Amino acid sequence: MTAEVLITAEELAELLGVAGSADADADAGANADADAGADADAGAGAGAGAGAGAGAVEVADRPRVRVLDVRWKLGGPHGHPLFLEGHIPTARFVDLDTQLARHGEPSEGRHPVPAIADLQAAARSWGLDDGDTVVVYDDLGNLSSARAWWLLKSAGIADVRLLDGALNAWKAAGLALETGEPEGNPVGSVTLAYGSLPWLDIDEAAALGESGVLLDARAPERFRGEVEPIDPRAGHIPGARNAPATGNLDADGRFLSPAELRARFEAAGAVRDAPVGVYCGSGVTAAADAVALTIAGFEPRVFPGSWSAWSNTDRPLATGE
Catalytic center residues: 280
Report the DSSP pairing between strands 300-302 and 92-93.
Answer: unpaired
First to last CA, the chain: 35
Interacting residues of 263 by C-beta distance below 8 A, sequence separation 6+: none
Give the residues across from 7 on adjacent strands: 163
Can you tell me the distance from the alpha carbon of 306 to that of 205, in angstroms, rounded to the nearest whole number? 9
Neighbours of 129 (CB within 10 A): 15
Can you tell me the distance from the alpha carbon of 121 to that of 147, in angstroms, rounded to the nearest whole number? 17
Identify whether 77 is preceded by a cis peptide bond (ω within 30 of 0). yes
- Of 155, 220, 202, 197, the C-alpha closest to 303 is 202
Report the Cα 217 to chain-centroid distance in Å. 15
User: Looking at this protein, which amino acid is placed at residue 222?
Assistant: R
Can you tell me the distance from the alpha carbon of 166 to that of 250, in angstroms, rounded to the nearest whole number? 12
